[in-house]
Amino acid sequence: MNALSKFRAYLDDTALVAIIRGVRSDEVEAVGEALIAEGIRIIEVPLNSPDPLDSIGLLAKRFGADASIGAGTVLDPANVQRVADVGGELIVSPNVDIDVIRATVSAGLVSSPGFFTPTEAFAAIRAGAHVLKLFPAEAAGPSVLKAQRAVLPRDVPVLAVGGITPQNMGEYIAAGAQGFGLGSGLYSPGRSAEEIRTRARAYVAQLR
């Protein structure tokens, strides 16, 4: 199964992406184990975390057969191959950078750029993006997502990222969100694996 097929299978099962910004390499496996135990099988380590490539490599080696592991906050196309070299399969950016998207597609990885306007969304799709993330979703709100979802291709998933809580997920789903990226509501540096697992459980329960 290639990277995109894996990603889509996990998204179809539990449409949540864990964004573990700030995670340390000495704790990342415990965090990954907690997330996967609760059904979250897409994990993003932002590149502005401590030793992010080490963390991605550790997650990919231990959980790569059962999860899609990748990098977030990818701003430079040169980092795409670095992520691939340690076993990462997902490239997430906060913006639409055509060079990053094309490098990701060329490397056979999953491209998930952040967008805020229809112009950005269609530019990303033309460049080959596989899944879009509305970011920051809290600034747009469900009404903006609903309007954009009416014109965006149905076969390109749109994830809401930024300010997502178990309580507001329903509004975004009704507006057309096909999944969510979970940041500080799920993980922040210093949280124990058990607390992360409890938070993950709440998100998964609300989604289902």
Catalytic residues: 44, 133
- Look up residue 120 and give its two tokens: 């950005």
Q: What is the CA radius of gyration of the chain?
A: 15
Q: What tokens were used for 111? A: 């491209």
The tokens for 126 are 């033309």
Position of tokens 């196309």? Answer: 77
Residue carrying the six token digits 């990226």: 181
Residue 134 near residue 108 (C-beta atoms within 8 A): no
Distance, CA of 23 to CA of 8 (rounded, Å):
25
Residue 205: how many CB atoms within 10 A of its CB?
11
Would the CA dihedral through 194, 200, 206, 208 be positive or negative?
Answer: negative
